[in-house]
Copies of this chain bind each other. A is one copy, B any other.
Amino acid sequence: MPGIGPRTAQRLALHLLRQPEEKIRSFADALLAARSQVGQCQKCFHLSADPICEICKNTEREKDLLCVIADSRDLLALERTREYKGLYHVLGGLISPLDGVGPEMLMISSLVKRVDQEGVREVILALPPSVEGDTTSLYVSRLIKPFAKVSRIAYGLPMGSELEYADEVTLARALEGRTTMD
């Protein structure tokens, strides 16, 4: 399991062995229940126990604004900001020819269909600043442009950072992506 090395694994195993049997049984049942009940939202492909997730169901959210992310962890990160009020679309990964991931393996055609059919006004690409992220952003933006405005989250200096310690590529992107002050 990610982040669990041999020593931590041993500590957890010994801890579990010390628990009463009914506690272990309910833990095992919870794991099985989670595995069988948590699926994907049929609209946005976020993790969900229901066919349509809580975010897609929420009538308070802006229906004509879609934020495209690589996976559910990124969606949770954006939700923590409490700034975004639109809906999401989880691609399920990034285009990566080296890893054998082509566009047809991601939820891209369903995204285009959604944008076309649901009258989406703007699609915000919130993919990570990397070769795979940039490739995927470019690919998706070409398909979406006939239907809606396409924007990309800003790449630049993170909050609290200093120019002096920023790497050259980040600084160059921050210069290139400068915005007019109004």
Whether, in the assembled complex, A160 has its beta carbon less than 8 Å from a beta carbon of chain B, the answer is yes
Chain A interface (Cβ < 8 Å from any Cβ of B):
67, 69-70, 73-74, 76-78, 80-84, 124-126, 128-130, 137, 141, 145, 149-164, 166-181
Copies per complex? 2
With A81-B172, A150-B180, A175-B78 in contact, is A158–B160 under 8 Å at CB?
A: no
Partner pick for A129 among B78, B159, B172, CB 8 A cutoff: B159
Q: Contacts A73-B164, A81-B175 known; list 19 others, CB within 8 Å.
A: A69-B163, A77-B171, A80-B171, A81-B168, A128-B161, A129-B159, A130-B159, A137-B181, A145-B181, A151-B178, A154-B155, A154-B173, A154-B176, A154-B178, A154-B179, A155-B158, A155-B174, A156-B156, A157-B158
